[in-house]
Amino acid sequence: MENWIHETLVSMGVAAEVADKLAIMALATLVVAGAYLVYWVLRTYLLKLIHRVTLKTSNKWDDALMDSRMFHRILRLIPLTFILICIDRLAPGQLIVLKRIVFAIIILIGARTVEAFLNSISTVYHADTDSHRKPIRPLFQALLIIVYLFAGIFIISVLLNKSPWNLFGLMGGLTAVTMLVFKDTILGFVAGIQLGANDMVREGDWIEMPKYGADGDVIEVAVNTVKVRNWDKTITTIPTYALISDSFKNWRGMSESGGRRIKRSICIDMNTVKFADEKLLERFRKMELLKDYVEKTQQAIDAENSERNMDLSATVVNGRRQTNLGIFRAYLVNYLHDNPKIHKGMTFLVRHLQPTPQGLPIEIYVFSADKNWVNYEGIQSDIFDHILAAIPEFELRVYQQPSGIDVASLKGL
């Protein structure tokens, strides 16, 4: 082809040396134009056909591949390969520079095709709502770094017409510089492997890391950073290796369990704790949640006192007696057992804590059956609304520090 163009130009009166250069330029132009024509046909017809097929299928993989533009990049390899074939067939030994440039572009597009493929896999994988899936984005990002590193070395070797193994040897000599430049990436890559292997954090987990001001859902785990969407909708970015070197709290265990913990206490004024007399016991017997407990407990106490010949009339501390606080605790147990929103299969506890200057804390330690944050707060609030309103019925009083109006009322005395 080159000879034919050269002879045609010479026959037209063009000098031989000039004809050689013009022939090469004309051939290169024809080859590039032909390649562009091939690409135009592929993009106009074949790519649209592939797009229609992906829309009609129910498989989400082909949609992800289309969205990542992998098919676009594969089609670009065809006209570039066409250029190389044409140069070898039509002008062997010529257009060496063009061949090197085209080959380098093929390597670059090949690396970008691999990137598109990995991105499509990551997209489909992370679109899955399975709570047990592990983050693979850090692994894919590390693979992309390796792919582009190798692609860069081969591109340089092609353009300089040098062996790539010589460049690999040069890279080995620059190991210290490479370690310094890619320090964060290397640390993040190692941390990503540890996070995935130990299943420490997944996308969608609720984590707390006060050091970095993070308290919310993990939305992305990458090589260098982990993004957390806080409850106020701000985004906190945490270095990936910080999740290995520092401590953080992961609430996944709560999410995967059957309930969410309610752990809260109310301080009772200890001056209001007393033995329950018959009048008070009679009031408790009228309460649906307490009548069986009070009756059975009183029968057991009377039997024990009678067996031990206790003189109950001498003083109230002789023998066993029920107290308003003890009956109140029994009421809380029965009330919580009767609440359908409390998980009965998990830790269920109503207990005294160490007395404090603010009174005697009565702690509720149970789990709500609903783990949704809004519903959980509603359940917890309803429980303590009821408890605070019910306490006076047991002739108990909640401790509360004096307020300004209390001081003012004292002045009026």
DSSP-based three-state secondary structure for 217:
strand
Structure tokens at 90: 């039509």
Per residue in 361-388, pLDDT tens? 999 999 999 888 899 999 999 999 999 9
Higher pLDDT, 156 or 328: 328
CA 32 to chain centroid, in Å, comes to: 48
pLDDT exceeds cutoff 80 at 238: yes
Q: Using an 8 Å Cβ cutoff, are 325 and 269 in contact?
A: no
The sign of the CA dihedral 218, 220, 223, 224 is negative
Per residue in 7-61, pLDDT tens? 555 455 555 555 555 556 666 777 778 888 888 888 888 888 887 887 787 777 7
> What span, in angstroms and rounded, lies between the C-alpha atoms of 77 and 69?
13
Structure tokens at 106: 């093929």
The terminus-to-terminus CA distance of the chain in angstroms comes to 118
DSSP-based three-state secondary structure for 413:
coil
Q: Which residues pair with 17 in a beta bridge?
A: none
> What span, in angstroms and rounded, lies between the C-alpha atoms of 106 and 75?
11
pLDDT at 12: 55
> What span, in angstroms and rounded, lies between the C-alpha atoms of 23 and 16?
10
pTM: 0.54
pLDDT exceeds cutoff 90 at 308: no
Q: Which residues pair with 268 in a beta bridge?
A: 360, 398
Higher pLDDT, 267 or 153: 267
Higher pLDDT, 412 or 208: 208
Instruction: For residue 351, give Cα distances in angstroms to 210, 224, 330, 354, 391.
Output: 30, 46, 10, 10, 16
Contact partners, residue 188, CB within 8 Å, separation at least 6: 138, 222, 223, 224, 225, 239, 240, 241
- The size of the chain, in residues, is 413
pLDDT at 187: 74
Helix (H) or strand (E) holding 351: strand 349-352
For residues 97-123, give the mean pLDDT: 85
DSSP line for 125-183: HHH---TTPPP-HHHHHHHHHHHHHHHHHHHHHHHHT--HHHHHHHHHHTHHHHHHHTH
Instruction: For residue 235, give Cα distances in angstroms to 191, 217, 249.
Output: 21, 10, 17
pLDDT exceeds cutoff 80 at 177: no
pLDDT exceeds cutoff 70 at 265: yes
Higher pLDDT, 72 or 382: 382
pLDDT exceeds cutoff 80 at 392: yes
The pLDDT-based confidence of 268 (bands split at 50, 70, 90) is: very high
pLDDT at 387: 94
Structure-derived torsion over alpha carbons of residues 352, 353, 359, 363, reported in degrees to the nearest 10: -60
Counting residues of the chain whose pLDDT is more than 70, the rounded percentage is 82
For residues 210-217, give the mean pLDDT: 90
pLDDT at 154: 85
Domains of the chain: 2-128 (no CATH), 260-308+317-405 (3.30.70.100)
Q: Which residues pair with 238 in a beta bridge?
A: 226
Q: Using an 8 Å Cβ cutoff, are 380 and 266 in contact?
A: no
Q: Using an 8 Å Cβ cutoff, are 73 and 113 in contact?
A: yes
pLDDT exceeds cutoff 80 at 314: no
pLDDT exceeds cutoff 60 at 130: no
DSSP-based three-state secondary structure for 252:
helix
pLDDT exceeds cutoff 60 at 129: no
pLDDT exceeds cutoff 50 at 2: no
Structure tokens at 186: 């290397």
What angle in degrees, to the nearest 10, is found between the helix axes of 96-127 and 70-90?
160
204: DSSP letter: T
Q: Is 223 exposed, middle or buried (0-12, 13-18, 19+ CB in 10 A)?
A: buried
